[in-house]
Amino acid sequence: MRIDVVTIFPEYLAPLELSLIGKARQDGLLSLAVHDLREFTTDRHRTVDDTPYGGGAGMVMKPEPWAQALESVAAQPVHGNSESVPTLIVPSPAGEVFNQELAYELATEDHLVFACGRYEGIDERVLQWSAERFRVRPVSLGDYVLNGGEVAVLAMVEAVGRLLPGVIGNPESLVEESHSDGLLEYPVYTKPSSWRDRNVPETLLSGNHAKIARFRRDEQLRRTTERRPDLIRGLNMASLNTADIALLNSLGIAPNQ
Ligand code: ADE
């Protein structure tokens, strides 16, 4: 996969040189470049913003530097299907909400471009114009406001990058993590089995794999019911067995349909 990030703060993206994503880049599993939007300006002051038409607070990012930058990154060579249309992710609190399903979807793409807005955002015409050469997706990290797209890009690149083949040493760890089956993950414990008067649940010490699997599934359902009732409401009934439904009933939840 190739990823290009356009920002006025390239230093913000330095953490992408570390840890798993940094290693994936070194190993050639991910090709990632960060571009300074100001390099695509033509005036002496390298201006990227201006006042909003219609009035109001703050500044808006000017269209021309963005068009120059996006034309430049769209022309970058990409491994894989050279015919495929690159996806332009525009981090914005006004976008669709990022989740694990979208991370899996983006992990199948050959070329992702992230356009980090600052101030009050990017001139809307840039998004319209971009639709001719990109699949454009405004994406939000959640219902809160950040100062710009950079932190959102760090989160999304990490969530997508770890799903690329070969990036995580043991891909089985992807199967049982939170959100992989629509539920939060079960709690985990390690040695010692007794610590400060707190014991590891006995079932986990029993060696009975069927009982352990059931215990963990119950804990997932319990935790999700308590912390994320919205996820329980959205569960696909076909993914629930009789024991799951019995557990949910014991928690006062009657899965419908
Ligand atoms: N930029 C500002 N707020 C944001 C958010 N919640 N998600 C993504 N990008 C943003």
Question: Which pLDDT belongs to residue 256?
Answer: 62
| Cβ–ligand 1 contact at 145 (below 6 Å) | yes
The count of other CB atoms within 10 Å of the CB of residue 167 is 20
Q: Rounded to 10 degrees, what is the CA torsion of 99, 105, 108, 111?
A: -80
Strand bridging mode 49-50 / 60-61 = antiparallel
Query: In angstroms, what CA-CA distances link 68 with 6, 43, 64, 71?
Result: 11, 14, 6, 5
- The C-alpha atoms of residue 179 and residue 207 are separated, in whole angstroms, by 26
Please, how many CA atoms are within 13 Å of residue 10, restricted to the half-sphere of its CB? 10
Q: Structure pTM?
A: 0.94
CA of 43 to the centre of ligand 1 (A): 29
CA of 192 to the centre of ligand 1 (A): 41
- The C-alpha atoms of residue 106 and residue 98 are separated, in whole angstroms, by 11
CA of 96 to the centre of ligand 1 (A): 11
**Helices and strands counted in the chain (H then E):** 8, 9
Bridge partners (DSSP) listed for residue 88 = 113, 136
- Ligand 1 pocket mutation pick from 146, 150, 156 by most atoms within 8 angstroms of CB: 146
CA of 101 to the centre of ligand 1 (A): 18
Which residue minimizes the CA distance to atom 2 of ligand 1?
A: 146
- The C-alpha atoms of residue 222 and residue 183 are separated, in whole angstroms, by 10
In tens digits, what is the pLDDT along the chain, a chain of 257 residues? Answer: 999 999 999 999 999 999 999 999 999 999 999 999 999 999 999 999 999 999 999 999 999 999 999 999 999 888 877 778 999 999 999 999 999 999 999 999 999 999 999 889 999 999 999 999 999 999 999 999 999 999 999 999 999 999 999 999 888 888 878 887 899 999 999 999 999 999 999 999 999 999 999 999 999 999 999 999 999 999 988 999 999 999 999 999 987 65
